[in-house]
Amino acid sequence: MGGNAPVIVQSMLNTSTKDVKASLAQIEALKAAGCEIVRVAIPSTSALTGFAAICEASPLPVVADIHFDHKLAIEAVRLGAAKLRINPGNIGDSAKVDEVIDTALQAKIPIRIGVNAGSLDKEFAEREDLGHTEKLVASAKQFVQHFESRGFTDIVLSAKAHDVRTTVDAYRMLADELPHIPLHIGITEAGTAFQGTVKSAAGLGALLLDGIGDTLRVSLTADPVEEVRVAWELLQAVGLRRRSPELISCPTCGRCQVDLINIATQVENRLQEYRTPIAVAVMGCVVNGPGEAKDADVGVACGKAKGAIFSKGQILKTVDEDQIITELFKEIDKLGK
């Protein structure tokens, strides 16, 4: 990751690592959705039960997420972690942090230094002359400098807050001041599926359009698979990566004479089964028809209880409303699944 590598999609299991079967099943579901790195929580010694088996059988790299107890990080490395995520401010004692650094260095695995607004190094957390953004950046920079002073450079850095503006400003500063460090971006504790998607789109979209971000996680209080789906939609929306079809659909208005919301929803649901990165348009009337969506690989422009199926702006056929979805997918299937 980093450099010219594509932005990598991450998520985190919500299963217990003690349940190997459930954990691996969730990893498979995440992989099918497009997840490329998974993170698991290791809150206690008992959570290491099954961790080695998960690492060995997982089709994706497994990151061990450690807070407070440095011995858990050291043991996770021994059991096969592909990467560690620690917040040095939570581990505290610099000697303990150094043990983790040395262990990862010997194992030749990376560490993500994760700094959150709610768990900063005390040196900066208590300073009244700094705002939240400055505290995040100062804390993150100090940790990076310490790691590098010990010869450890395989670093990924995150500096997240639940506030979108704080997060965006912090990452922009870090990208400017530490341009050699890959950044993992995210809006932490963003909320439920709806609110979290909106906040993540606002913050991560701004950063991605600035060229900032090497890995990302959309943090939602929802099924982790939904995090991955939103992440890919974000990457597609800003033109960085394509994994599946893009749906172009117009808002409804008084000109619409079909059940457009139902049609668009059905098309969206069926397109989840496809991996060909094509553009599919569902347009409600001739005003927003083949002209507005002329670049779409395939689409439909609806009229009064009918729909004109088109490709690249050229009308192919006109069908009744109840045949729109069937005929549209006949054309989509010609382009591959």
Could you read off the pLDDT of 295-332 as tens digits, one per residue? Answer: 899 999 998 999 999 999 899 999 999 999 999 999 99
Distance, CA of 150 to CA of 133 (rounded, Å): 26
Give pLDDT, residue 119.
67
What is the radius of gyration, based on Cα positions, of the chain? 23
Which CATH number is correct for 246-334, 3.40.190.10, 2.40.50.140, 3.40.50.720, 3.30.413.10?
A: 3.30.413.10
Q: Which amino acid is present at 199? A: K
* Delimiting residues of CATH 3.20.20.20 domain(s) in the chain: 8-237
Query: What average pLDDT score do residues 263-287 get?
Result: 91
* Delimiting residues of CATH 3.30.413.10 domain(s) in the chain: 246-334
pLDDT in tens, 155-176: 999 998 889 999 999 999 999 9
Are 190 and 200 in contact by the 8 Å Cβ rule? The answer is yes
Instruction: Please spell the DSSP secondary structure of 45-67, one letter per residue.
Output: GGGGTTHHHHHHH-SS-EEEEE-
Q: Give CATH for domain 8-237.
A: 3.20.20.20
Give Dmax over CA atoms of the chain in angstroms: 73
**pTM for the whole structure:** 0.90
